[in-house]
Amino acid sequence: MGRIVSIGECMGELSETGTPGALSMGFAGDTLNTAYYLRRSLGTDWQVDYLTAIGTDGLSDRMLDFLAAEGIGTDHVRCLSDKTIGLYYITLKDGERSFTYWRNDSAAKRLASDPSLLARALDGADMAYWSGITLAILSNQDRLALIEALSQFAGRGGTVVFDPNLRPRLWDNPETMRGWIHRAAAVSDLCLPSFEDEATWFGDTDPSETIKRYLAEGSQRVVVKNGAADVSFTDGAGQISTCAIPPVERVVDTTAAGDSFNAGFLAAELSGESVREAIAAGARLAGKVIGAKGALVPEATSRA
Ligand code: ADP
């Protein structure tokens, strides 16, 4: 059996329902969203684990129950008695969603503070998946510890997949963000950036510049998402190509578009499909996810 470890922060999601005083509660977060869709897209010959840190309170228990109910492995979820999970609240106004976060002191910020737990989680795994958000929430010391753990994992033959997911608000300043993102790319076999973010924060003028930059930083392969536009990618030999994606008739909510694309893409490649087939699978899954409200859409898998 193969095993993937997704590393990052899952938060509680409170959203207005349209009925005054009534909220709905869920769980989401970039790396969790990808783990969720990987679990739904891969067969039972793959185990999908989530590596994070939570508290020991009732709300943290609910998150653990949620992960377990989804079939996501929780053996590497660290439980810290003096912390709890981060939360965000979605306000609905005229159909537009806006977000308020309480995550500055979340347990997940400590997910990499015990290197022996990182090593144990990665031991025997085939793939590790992480993001720029995972890196952003950590202390400098823990960023180095996680990069080191992933570098050793890659050295043993593990595949490291990284979505830069640039969120300048989580970093002290954009320059610091750029520096760490490139250090992360250097230990990652595959980078899955989104062009709009990369153009904004790195000044790339087209997706091939994004690809060349991440290759120059040490990534082996790069696949660049670009909303409704073509996906650009490299093969192992560094050749750059593009692949058109099917139009989505009705875009309802683009939350988790990139996260679900990544899951569909990886699930297809792990099932032996070509890079073009994997891009089509990623786009198919993302298309279903953005056609419905919320980050986690239970009906969506990359299977046709
Ligand atoms: P992110 O959510 O990380 O910003 P993108 O917006 O680039 O990522 O979208 C990721 C993927 O989701 C795209 O490659 C595409 O497959 C799909 N997607 C996003 N927006 C659209 C759209 N308007 N029409 C069709 N597909 C889309």
Q: What is the pLDDT of residues 132-168, one digit of tens each?
A: 999 999 999 999 999 999 999 999 999 999 999 999 9
Full strand arrangement of the beta sheet holding 87-93: 23-28, 11-16, 87-93, 96-102
- Atom 18 in ligand 1: residue holding the nearest Cα: 227
* Residue pair 63/87 in contact by the 8 Å Cβ criterion: no
How crowded is the C-beta side of 15, counted as CA atoms within 13 Å? 17
Annotated domain spans of the chain: 2-9+29-80+108-298
Residue nearest ligand 1's atom 5 by CA = 227
Q: For residue 235, indicate whether it is catalytic.
A: no
CATH number of 2-9+29-80+108-298: 3.40.1190.20
258 alpha carbon to ligand 1 midpoint, in Å? 6
Three-state SS string over the chain comes to: CEEEEEECCCEEEEEECCCCCCEEEEEECHHHHHHHHHHHHCCCCEEEEEEEEECCCHHHHHHHHHHHHCCCECCCEEECCCCCCCEEEEEEECCEEEEEEECCCCHHHHCCCCHHHHHHHHCCCCEEEEEHHHHHCCCHHHHHHHHHHHHHHHHCCCEEEEECCCCHHHCCCHHHHHHHHHHHHHCCCEECCEHHHHHHHHCCCCHHHHHHHHHHHCCCEEEEECCCCCEEEECCCCCEEEECCCCCCCCCCCCCHHHHHHHHHHHHHHCCCCHHHHHHHHHHHHHHHHCCCCCCCCCCCCCC
Residue 205 CB contacts under 8 Å (≥ 6 apart), including other chains:
199
Gap from CA of 140 to ligand 1 centroid (Å): 31
Q: Cα(265) to centroid of ligand 1, in Å? A: 13
**Complex-level ipTM:** 0.98
- Assess whether the C-beta atom of 83 lies below 6 angstroms from ligand 1: no
> 101 alpha carbon to ligand 1 midpoint, in Å?
24
Distance CA 209, CA 145 (A): 30
What's the pLDDT score for residue 98? 86
pLDDT single digits (tens) 190-220: 999 999 999 999 999 999 999 999 999 999 9
Q: Which of 231, 250, 277, 290 to mutate to test the pocket of ligand 1 (most atoms within 8 A of CB)?
A: 290
Residue 254 Cβ inside 6 Å of ligand 1? The answer reads yes
Q: Answer whether 53 contacts ligand 1 (Cβ < 6 A).
A: no
Reading the block at residue 199, the tokens are 């153009």
pLDDT in tens, the chain (304 residues): 999 999 999 999 998 888 888 999 999 999 999 999 999 999 999 999 999 999 999 999 999 999 999 999 999 999 999 999 999 998 877 767 788 999 889 999 999 999 999 999 999 999 999 999 999 999 999 999 999 999 999 999 999 999 999 999 999 999 999 999 999 999 999 999 999 999 999 999 999 999 999 999 999 999 999 999 999 999 767 789 999 999 999 998 888 999 999 999 999 999 999 999 999 999 999 999 999 888 898 887 766 5
pLDDT of residue 236: 67
Q: How far is it, in rounded angstroms, from Cα 150 to Cα 122?
A: 8
Centre of ligand 1 from the C-alpha of residue 227, in Å: 3
What pLDDT score does 234 carry? Answer: 93
Q: Is 228 in the pocket of ligand 1 (CB under 6 A)?
A: yes
Q: Is the CB of 274 under 6 A from ligand 1?
A: no
- Active site residue: 30, 163, 204, 259, which one? 259
